Amino acid sequence: MGEVMVHLRGVRKSFGDNEVLRGVDLEVRAGEVVVVLGPSGSGKSTLLRTINHLEKVDAGLVTVDGELIGYRRRGDRLHELREREVLRQRTHIGFVFQNFNLFPHLTVLENVVEAPVSALRRPVARARDQARRLLARVGLSDKEDAYPRHLSGGQQQRVAIARALALEPKVLLFDEPTSALDPELVGEVLDVIKDLARSGTTMVVVTHEVGFAREVADTVVFLDGGAVVEQGPPARVLDDPRHPRTRAFLSKVL
């Protein structure tokens, strides 16, 4: 595994008096697949959203490839970055949502081409070539002219993955990528994510798919009450959990 790509140190986040992240430390190395498990409300989505500054942190630091996310250091103070700079940082951090979030008025190809052209100023022809390669990779070459509403949920999610890859992100974040899908469509999306894992994509995946975690994760992180309760290789955390809360959670989902 390579050097540290994503680093969270002492990350805290509250909504009003609800403390949702209570000092989270996390390291993700280049090429590593980290799967985050935890009960509903434990802070999994909030944790992912702090990585690309969709949520501001109250305390702690997030870096991606050594770059402080959302802030600039001046002397011993941190100043929040302007929106434009945050948007530039986000181009390095792919995010795949539970509900796909495709642009409904754009075709599949246009969805994948949009960000490289508008955010990275890539020539359209080059962006299209790359989009076609990515659509082939997720098995959707025959759908490039379709609109999202004409696709199944599994197909829409595979387009969303191609779209995220188009920016060649340093890390790809997935927030329950299969939980909005009919059961028979889960496998095709997990297969695409497995393929990315094998090819060395750095990923943080929030999911309830324990079988997927066992097969694909390098590291499983169990989050509860806004804190990392336990983490380690899947065989260790899933088959020999040390913490009673991990055991209680696994006995419910397995």
- Pick 25 or 168: Cβ nearer ligand ATP: 25
- Pick 166 or 206: Cβ nearer ligand ATP: 206
**Contact between 175 and 95 (Cβ < 8 Å):** yes
To ligand ATP, the closest distance from the beta carbon of 76 in angstroms equals 30
Q: Which does 107 bind (CB under 5 to 8 A by kind): ligand ATP, Mg ion, none?
A: none
To ligand ATP, the closest distance from the beta carbon of 10 in angstroms equals 18
Task: Please enumerate in sequence order all residues whose Cβ is within 8 A of that of 227, keeping only pairs 6 or more positions apart, or say none.
Answer: 21, 22, 23, 24
Q: Write out the binding residues for ligand ATP, residues 5-64 only, by CB under 6 A.
A: 15, 18, 20, 38, 40-46
Q: Which does 199 bind (CB under 5 to 8 A by kind): Mg ion, ligand ATP, none?
A: none
Q: Which does 46 bind (CB under 5 to 8 A by kind): Mg ion, ligand ATP, none?
A: ligand ATP
Q: Which does 20 bind (CB under 5 to 8 A by kind): ligand ATP, Mg ion, none?
A: ligand ATP
- Pick 52 or 107: Cβ nearer Mg ion: 52
To ligand ATP, the closest distance from the beta carbon of 169 in angstroms equals 21
- Pick 43 or 148: Cβ nearer ligand ATP: 43
Q: Which residues bind Mg ion (CB under 5 A)?
A: 44-45
- Pick 49 or 247: Cβ nearer Mg ion: 49
State the residues that interact with ligand ATP by CB under 6 A: 15, 18, 20, 38, 40-46
